[in-house]
Structures are given as structure tokens and as C-alpha cells.
Structure 1
Amino acid sequence: MANSKHAHLRYNILDECFRKRAYGFEDLLNALNESIEIHYPNESISVRTLREDLKVFRDKKNGFGAPLPDKARVLKYSSSNFSIAQKPLLEYEQYLIDAAQQLLERFENDPKYDKLAEALIKFQDEEDQQENDAKKILYYDHNEEYKGINFLKPLYLSIKKKQVLQINYKGFKDELSSIYEFHPHILRQYNRRWFVFGLNKTKGIKEWSIPLDERLLDFNILKDQDYLESDTDWETCFRTMVGVVRPKDVKIERVVLLFHNGRENYFKTKPFHPGYDLFFEKDKNDQVWFDTIINRELIQQILSYGQDVQVLEPEILRIQVAKQIKSMNILYDS
């Protein structure tokens, strides 16, 4: 494989190009180099490298076997359903995966590598099934309908490069979409969905969250705007909230929960609030407390325990939970 540097990036860019429209060779080279420039400033590839890449795409034995006619004047897949993402790993790609797994074994006692090791195992399981019709071993929780994951990498790069964005967003209940200036600062995953946090300069809210799903219609880079850094302590921000919605000027409250039927043990193994603490008193072993804002997501998490939890403090939260329970009872009154 010629020019292995950023080869996988090139392959993904080319795959997207061939699926979207027809390109002449020069147009394709320009489009590819423009995309590479985004990820690797001041870098580009040569005509020779692109020709070698096209060989890899067409090669049925050691490449992707892509439906790209050899002598056509334009370059486009002859089958609209084809994508290299559907193809098994190339031999050298499998070698890289195996090498990565072996390397991670050296760090298996370091918790910061756990997530990466988990991702590699999931990936390998999918590949084994595709290639060898192997028995499925892993069944993991994921969102099949999640359509916003394609925004994750571009937004990550926008944060790294400190780019100002113009957001085009339409909520589920909105009749029209809204456009605003946004300075992205943080990406956070919650409930199997990604969110980007930052300054909504148009509305003047500095801890604004945007879900990466179909509500985010599109975004563009505003090159003539200066990027504004965040002065938010995000660790504290996330430690004092459940979920992703933080109303403006909201107050932090001390929440005390009393569990029944041993459900405090379940909470302790999977807490919905990261900063919970226990009471020292023996007669309060079934209680926990934490400091947080009160929002809809907190109430939803409390209600998920049904009759096995009781809000002791604060009174405002007790009232809101009770109100929700009364509203639910109305739905089931016969």
C-alpha cells in the first residue's frame, strides 16, 4: 500500500465521494486534498498516491472490490448500495487490529485503557461474524436508531481547532428551524446519546447543550468570528446535575433519597448521580445524598425506582415528584 499515512482517512473520504456523486480524476484529487487539509493542515497527496488508492478500491483479492469501472471518464460507484464499511478488514488492517490488542495487554491494569480495549473487542466480534459466520458472543446495549453519530468527529475537531459554528436546529415540536452562533466547548455522552455543550452567543447562554441527533440539521464554520473560550468548570458543572439540561441561573440543592426493599444497593452499583455520598449513621444505611440542580432528568431517574424510593429533601423536589405521580395516576384511573 503506497503512502500509508492517513490512508484510512483517505479511504473513508473516497468512499463518501463515490457514493454521493461522479467525479473526474482532477476534481476527485482536489476534493480529497481539501478534506485532508481539514485534518492535516498543509498536507496533500500526489496524483500517484490517488492512483494507488484507486487500485486498492478496485482490487477484488487484496482490496475492497469496489464497483468502479476501470476506463470510465467519471469515478462513481455503479452500485449505490456499496460502501467499503460493509467489506471485511483488509489483511494489513487485521494485522493492525491484532497488534493494537496485543499492545493493550501491556496496559491491562491501567483503567484509562479499559474503554479502548472494550471497543476493540466489540469491533473484532462483529468482524468474526461477518467473515466466518461465527457465533455471536457479545450482546451490548446500543441505539440502532441513533442518527447523529456522524456529527461527533466534526464537532470534536471544531472544539480542538476552536472554530465558531452556525447551528441549524429544529426541535421535535418546532414548526421552523432556528439558526444561531455557537462556540463548542465540551462533548458529553448521556443515555446512549452524545451532546455538545458550549456558548450559544445568539441567546447569551454559556452552558447550552445540543443533542447530536436528527434535531441538529446541520452546522457551518464561521471563519470570520473569533472563538470565545469557556470559563465554566465543566467537572463541577456535570458533577452537580443529572442529564444534560441545565436551566439558566438554576440553584444547587441538597437531595436526600430513602430507598426501600434493598434498592439502595442497586443505586450504589449504578448511581444516576456521580457525586452521591453515604450517611455515617447506622440507621441511615438505606439513604444517600448529593448536591445537584433540579431538572426533569433528575425527576425521571427518581421515578424509575417506582415505589422503592422516597425523596426526603428538599421539599421543592418532593412536591415536583408527587405532582408527577399524581399526573401518572390520572392516566390509569378507570
Structure 2
Amino acid sequence: MPINRATLIRISTIDRCLQNRYRRWTINDLIEACTDALAEFEGRANPVSRRTFQNDLALMRSDRLGYNAPIVVRDNKYYEYEDPDFTITHLPLNDEGLDALNSALDILRQLQCFPQLASSIETISKLNEQISRRTGVSVPAMDMEHVAGYRGERFIGMIYDAVRKHRTITIEYQSFKASRPDTLTVYPYLLKEYRNRWFLVGEKSTNRAPHVNIFALDRIHSVKFDHEHPFRKCAGFDPEHFFDDTIGVTRQIGDKPRHVVIDIDSTQAPYIESKPFHRSQKVEQRFDDGSIRISLKVVINSELVRLILGYGGHAEVIAPTELRVKVAESVIKAADRYRE
């Protein structure tokens, strides 16, 4: 059974519940607590199955992670620790447990900007201390990109709650072009991260037709819940699939993906095959010199143009014509800056 972040959140939730001796916990109570804990992280409720819960209990009771948790059932109904002082955070871990939890912790360390995970993070931090003492190593083995001091990070938790609970918010927002912030009433639909920046996809209350607005969190000055305007859904916006055919965050309802064809020279072809521009990428042709022709089915936007420009002379847009012209104009403008 793999020890992933969902498993770690569930067993830490079960441990936290069983430490509360002022309540009697049925299997349904514990499953509900685990479901709620995962929902706080995932943003949508996916009920934990009884089989998954039983597997978690078996893992905690076993020696696999070194817990040997004394979980007993009273009156054939209520779960509790036989030892009232027991907690998984006070135990030494075996080697397999150390290795499994270290891997999960490396991932979960990156998620501390979500206050909804605070209780799980606290338990996880205690486990991390044990790992550090046991191994004598406190340096993580994984480093995910993170922008230190990112100004929008402080709003992630509140906006996440607003999206998940369908609550209208009021924000003070100042775009790069504006001289001062505007106060806007917004219906929040989705939080999206792109290249270490977070964006709120929502709709201003003043929109007369279905239209989504993209707000960069680092341009938001304040956020508060709005109790005067009932939440309104946007017709045509599907948060699960809205960005499926988009690179970045710039697109509108009604934008259609286009068939994009790009030639990549031999020096960059291996890299672009190993890290595609987009999930729709296909290799349409391979040339004798090692270069390739790829196709994408994506919305044409500024992020696509910047991505292509990032490869400089190694990439050439073949179609559609409008994208080829946009990229060519940017290349000419850049070349002009270097001419004496």
C-alpha cells in the first residue's frame, strides 16, 4: 500500500480523533472526519470508502511504519486507543516507515500556504522531527519551486474557502496598468497556479454576459467575504475542464482551440519531446537532420506566444498564419533592440 499524501492526511486525522477522549468515535464518524480533511485539501468531497479506512487502520496497527497502534473497538461500535496517552507522533519509526514518510513529507512541506491543512501539518511536523532525530538529517530530498515572499500567498486560504463554499467576495485589486486599486465584487470559481503565480478565476458582479475574469493574487490588496451579493455561477464555465486546451491562464468562454504546427530543430527536439508544450502535443513528422514537426490543439494566447519565443531560433511556427505573424513580429521587435 503506497504511503502518499492522502494516506498521510487520513492517518493523521484518525490519530487526532482518537486522541480526543471526550468523544466516542464510530466508523462512520472517523470516515467522515477523514473525508472532511481530504476535502479541505482537494476542494471537493470524495468520500473515503470503508475499505480504504480499514486499510488505514491495518497500517496503523501494523509494524510497517512502526506504529503498532493499540486501536480497539468498544461495544462492537466505538474506536479508541487502548492506551489513552498513545499517539503516532510519539513513536520511533522503523526504516521502511522513515523512508515512506520522508517521501510524503517532502511533498506536504510545499503545501503550508493552505491554512486548511494546519492540523495535519502540525502532526506531520512532529513526524518530521522524529525523522530528523532518527536519521540525523533534516535536509529535504526534494525542492519544488517556491517564490519566497510571494505577496499573494496570504490570500490563498481565504479564496480557497470562498471557491469551495461558493461564497461571494469583495477584493481590492490593482492591475499593473492602474494607478490605484479598484473595489470589486467577485464570484470566485477557481484558484489556478501557473509558473509560481496564483490566479483567481472568477466573475465580476458587473458582468452583463457570461465572462470570466482572471485576477493575479499578487495584485490583490485585500479580500473579505461579501454577505450582500448571493453567489452566482457562470454559465459555460467548467472548472474541471476549462483550461484543458490552454497553456497558462489567458482565455475566455467561447475561445476555441486551434491546430498549431511548429517545427523544432534537432538541438531542442529531444527536450520538447520529453517535456511537451501541452498534453495535446503530437509529433507529426521527423526529418533526416533530427528536427521534428509537432502539432498542438490549444487556444492561441500570450502565454503560448511567450513559450514559443522562449526557444528563440530553435522553433518556427508553421500554422496558423495569425500565430506565425505574432511570433514573427515579436522576433523582429527583439532583433531591432540589438541593432546599433
Normalised TM-score (structure 2): 0.59
Following superposition, the deviation at residue 275 of structure 1 comes to 2.4
| Distance verdict in 2 for CA 1:139–1:126, change over 3 Å | farther
Q: Please name the residue that 1:147 is paired with.
A: 151
Q: Secondary structure at the match of 1:239?
A: coil
Following superposition, the deviation at residue 127 of structure 1 comes to 6.5
Using the alignment, how far apart are the partners of 1:98 and 1:229 within structure 2?
A: 48
> Is 1:166 the equivalent of 2:170?
yes
**2:153 maps to amino acid:** I
Using the alignment, how far apart are the partners of 2:130 and 2:337 within structure 1?
A: 48
Using the alignment, how far apart are the partners of 2:221 and 2:211 within structure 1?
A: 21
Q: Secondary structure at the match of 1:186?
A: strand
| Distance verdict in 2 for CA 1:330–1:139, change over 3 Å | same
Following superposition, the deviation at residue 246 of structure 1 comes to 1.5
Using the alignment, how far apart are the partners of 2:279 and 2:211 within structure 1?
A: 23
Q: Please name the residue that 1:266 is paired with.
A: 271
Using the alignment, how far apart are the partners of 1:97 and 1:225 within structure 2?
A: 52
> Is 1:299 the equivalent of 2:280?
no
Contact 2:260 2:296 in 1 (8 A): yes
Most deviating of 289-298 and 229-238:
229-238
Using the alignment, how far apart are the partners of 1:276 and 1:97 within structure 2?
A: 48
- Structure 1 residues 81-120: aligned runs within 5 Å: 95=90, 102=97, 105=100, 118-120=106-108
Q: Please name the residue that 2:225 is paired with.
A: 221
- Cα RMSD, aligned residues only: 3.9
Cα shift readout 1:6-54 (whole Å, capped 9, x = no counterpart): x9xxxxxxxxxxxxxxxxxxxxxxxxxxxxxxx9xxxxxxxxxxxxxxx
Using the alignment, how far apart are the partners of 2:294 and 2:169 within structure 1?
A: 41
> Is 1:190 the equivalent of 2:207?
no
- Structure 1 residues 304-319: aligned runs within 5 Å: 304-319=310-325
Q: Please name the residue that 1:43 is paired with.
A: none
Using the alignment, how far apart are the partners of 1:103 and 1:186 within structure 2?
A: 36
Q: Secondary structure at the match of 2:150?
A: coil
Using the alignment, how far apart are the partners of 2:92 and 2:314 within structure 1?
A: 45
Following superposition, the deviation at residue 134 of structure 1 comes to 5.1
| Distance verdict in 2 for CA 1:134–1:225, change over 3 Å | closer
- Structure 1 residues 1-334: aligned runs within 5 Å: 95=90, 102=97, 105=100, 118-120=106-108, 138-204=142-208, 206-213=211-218, 215-230=219-234, 231-247=236-252, 250-279=255-284, 281-283=285-287, 286-334=292-340
| Distance verdict in 2 for CA 1:212–1:96, change over 3 Å | farther
Q: Secondary structure at the match of 2:148?
A: coil
Contact 2:98 2:131 in 1 (8 A): no
Cα shift readout 1:174-220 (whole Å, capped 9, x = no counterpart): 1121122211111111101111112222234532111121x101122
| Distance verdict in 2 for CA 1:104–1:171, change over 3 Å | farther
Using the alignment, how far apart are the partners of 2:105 and 2:132 within structure 1?
A: 20
Cα shift readout 1:87-127 (whole Å, capped 9, x = no counterpart): xxxxx79659979x949949x9xxxxx8x554246687997
Contact 1:246 1:295 in 2 (8 A): yes
Gaps of 5+ in 2: 1-15, 20-39, 41-86, 111-123
Using the alignment, how far apart are the partners of 2:270 and 2:170 within structure 1?
A: 45
Following superposition, the deviation at residue 264 of structure 1 comes to 2.5
Contact 1:264 1:287 in 2 (8 A): no
Following superposition, the deviation at residue 317 of structure 1 comes to 0.4
**1:256 maps to amino acid:** V
Contact 1:277 1:288 in 2 (8 A): yes
Equivalent pairs counted in the alignment come to 238
Normalised TM-score (structure 1): 0.60
| Distance verdict in 2 for CA 1:332–1:208, change over 3 Å | same
| Distance verdict in 2 for CA 1:176–1:318, change over 3 Å | same
Following superposition, the deviation at residue 140 of structure 1 comes to 4.0
Gaps of 5+ in 1: 8-38, 40-91, 109-113
Identity %: 23
